[in-house]
């Protein structure tokens, strides 16, 4: 499912995926530190 915006370059799931990866990375590093 692709949503055409005025931009049209970045699909909607892209920012969500990046956010999810960032949260996973933070959780992973925190787990490792602790």
Give residue-wise pLDDT tens across range 1-34: 555 556 556 566 778 888 889 999 999 999 887 6
pTM of the entire predicted model? 0.49
Q: What local confidence, expressed as pLDDT, does residue 13 receive?
A: 75
Q: What local confidence, expressed as pLDDT, does residue 15 receive?
A: 80
Q: How many residues does the chain have?
A: 34
User: What's the CA angle centered on 17, arms 3 and 8, to 5 degrees?
Assistant: 25
- With tokens 């990866």, the residue in question is 21
Q: Cα 17 from chain centroid?
A: 3
Q: What local confidence, expressed as pLDDT, does residue 14 receive?
A: 75
12 and 3 Cβ atoms separated by less than 8 Å: yes
**What is the C-alpha to C-alpha distance for residues 16 and 12, in angstroms, rounded to an integer?**
7
Phi, psi dihedral angles at 21 (to 5 degrees) = -65, -40
């Amino acid at each position: 499912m692709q949503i055409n915006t005025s931009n049209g370059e970045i699909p909607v799931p892209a920012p969500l995926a990046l956010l999810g990866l960032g949260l996973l990375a933070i959780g992973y590093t925190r787990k490792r530190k602790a």
